[in-house]
């Protein structure tokens, strides 16, 4: 059983993370492009809204003219200026007529932009799936690194566990007191599968004498006890 820690062969996280970051940048760029198209749609929609506002004003002006004509029939001395209303109506109608070409272009622009936005969303959905896969790969790889870190920390318990086993196997130890060292190892040996990546080799130990460093720990304990008795 090796005393030195042997790191596992671990996947390189850098290229996986680089792929994730690249895809996140691609998504951010697509979002930016979509937002720009959104601003263009807003400008085109304003052209259409302006035309619709003029049409509402035309309807209102026509209603005023009808009302004024009715009043004139009832009262010849009506002060309503029909000529002014008709001039306003004519001006509004000219504005609407002049805007038709711009409105047609705006409608077509909106259709084209929406098609492009749909394409962006489709690309984004594809990249998101790839990002999800890359994220899963990164998490799996990162978990392997964490496994090895845990295994390393378990490995670092070698010396302390060997010292504990030496104490509990000393002839002067009160053997009515429950020995915790082997029980600790036994508990982990039962709890952690043999093929688990976090299982250190010393989990396989059954007796104290098998434990790596046990003999040295016994010698160290004897030296400490000899020093204490001086």
CA distance 180 to 58: 95
Q: What is the pLDDT of residue 78?
A: 59
Mean local confidence (pLDDT), 130-149:
94
How many other C-beta atoms are found inside a 10 Å radius of the C-beta of residue 149?
12
> How confident is the model at residue 81, as a pLDDT?
75
Residue 153: predicted pLDDT: 86
For 21-32, what is each residue's pLDDT tens digit? 999 999 999 999
Q: How confident is the model at residue 221 (pLDDT cuts 50, 70, 90)?
A: very high
- For residue range 173-218, list pLDDT tens digits in order: 887 787 789 888 888 888 888 888 888 878 888 889 888 889 999 9
How many angstroms separate the CA atoms of 21 and 41, rounded? 30
Label residue 203 left, alpha or beta by phi (over 0 means left) and psi (-120 to 50 means alpha): alpha
Can you tell me the distance from the alpha carbon of 131 to that of 111, in angstroms, rounded to the nearest whole number? Answer: 30
Q: Which of 186, 164, 182, 184 is nearest to 173 (CA)?
A: 164
Residue 16 has pLDDT above 70, yes or no: yes
CA nearest neighbour of 7 among 202, 149, 158: 149
- Give per-residue pLDDT as tens, 31-86: 999 999 999 999 999 999 999 999 999 999 999 989 888 887 787 665 667 888 89
pTM: 0.65
Q: Quick one: pLDDT at residue 76? A: 64
The pLDDT score that the predictor gives to residue 79 is 64
Segment 98-112, tens digit of pLDDT: 899 999 999 999 999
């Amino acid at each position: 059983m090796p005393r030195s820690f042997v790191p596992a062969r671990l996947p390189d996280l850098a290229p996986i993370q680089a792929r994730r970051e690249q895809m996140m940048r691609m998504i951010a760029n697509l979002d930016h492009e979509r937002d720009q198209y959104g601003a263009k749609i807003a400008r085109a929609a304003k052209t259409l809204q302006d035309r619709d506002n003029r049409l509402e004003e035309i309807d209102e002006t026509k209603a005023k003219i009808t009302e004024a004509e009715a009043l004139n029939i009832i009262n010849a001395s009506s002060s309503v200026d029909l000529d002014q209303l008709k001039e306003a109506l004519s001006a509004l109608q000219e504005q609407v007529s002049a805007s038709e070409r711009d409105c047609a272009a705006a409608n077509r622009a909106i259709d084209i932009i929406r098609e492009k936005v749909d394409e962006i969303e489709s690309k984004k959905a594809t990249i998101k799936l790839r990002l999800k896969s890359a994220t899963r790969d990164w998490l799996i790889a990162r978990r392997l690194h964490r496994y090895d870190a845990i295994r390393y920390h378990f490995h670092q318990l070698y010396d302390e566990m060997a010292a504990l086993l030496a104490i509990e196997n000393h002839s002067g130890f009160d053997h009515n007191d429950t020995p915790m060292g082997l029980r600790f190892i036994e508990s982990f040996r039962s709890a952690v599968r043999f093929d688990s990546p976090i299982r250190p080799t010393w989990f396989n130990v059954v007796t104290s004498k098998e434990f790596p460093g046990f003999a040295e720990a016994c010698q160290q304990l004897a030296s400490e006890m000899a020093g204490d008795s001086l």
